[in-house]
Amino acid sequence: MPVVECDVADAREALAQAGASFSDGNSEYELWHADLGDAHAVAYEDKLVVQGASPTDITAVVEPDRGGRVHAYFDGASRGNPGPASVGWVLVSGDGIVAENGETIGRATNNQAEYEALLAVLEAAADFGFDDIEIRGDSQLVEKQVKGAWDTNDPELREKRVRVRELLERFDDWSLTHVPREVNDRADELANEALDDA
C-alpha cells in the first residue's frame, strides 16, 4: 500500500485533471477520498494512502516524473497451467520500493502470466516516467523470446512479445535478465498472494 507524501491540494488538482472522482473523508483525519481506475486514495494532512488493484493508477498521477533508472522485478503464476493465474511486480529505485502490485488475471498458462507480469511492470515504470529500466524475472522463456534468442511460436505469446517490445521503446535504455527465483522473491510472493486471496 503506497504512501505518497505530498501537498494534498496539488494532488487533488492533478487527480481531478486525470478524471478522478472524489468523496468526503470518513473521519476528522481524512480530508477526502479519490478513485481513479483501479486505485483508491485517502488524503490526510500531508500524504495520500493509496490502495486497490492498481495503485499506480493514482501514484503515477500525483508523483512527479522521476526520470533516472529503475529496477523492475516481475513474476507470473498459474495453478493448473492453464488455470487461475496472477501477476506480481515490483519497481525499485535508489530511494527504495517505488511501487508493487499483485493481482489475478483470470485463466492463463504460466507463460501467458509471465508475459502479463512483464507488461504490467513496464506500463507502471513508463507511467512513473523512468528513463532507464533494468528488468529481472525468473522466466527464461520470456527473457529469451523478448531478446530474440528464441522464436515465439505461440500466436498469443507472439502478440504479447510485440507489445513488450513497443513498451520497451519508451525507455532510453533497457536490459532484461533471467534471475533465479530467490532473487525474484517479492514479485513471486505478490503473484502467489493474489491467487491465495482470490
How much is the average pLDDT of 117-127?
Answer: 95
Predicted confidence (pLDDT) per residue in 45-92, tens digit: 999 999 888 888 898 888 766 788 999 999 999 999 999 999 999 999
Q: Are 138 and 188 in contact (CB under 8 A)?
A: yes
Q: What is the pLDDT of residues 127-156, one digit of tens each?
A: 888 999 999 999 999 999 999 999 999 999
pTM value?
A: 0.77
* pLDDT tops 80 at residue 14: yes
Please give the Cα distance from 4 to 28 (Å, whole number).
20
Region of 129 (left: φ > 0; alpha: ψ -120 to 50; beta: rest) is: left
Q: Which residues contact 59 (CB under 8 A, 6 or more apart)?
A: 2, 4, 39, 50, 99, 128
Tell me, rounded to whole angstroms, the distance of Cα 12 from its chain centroid: 22
What CATH code is assigned to 3-62?
3.30.310.10
Topology of domain 69-197, per CATH?
Nucleotidyltransferase; domain 5 (3.30.420)
For the chain, give every domain's residue range: 3-62, 69-197
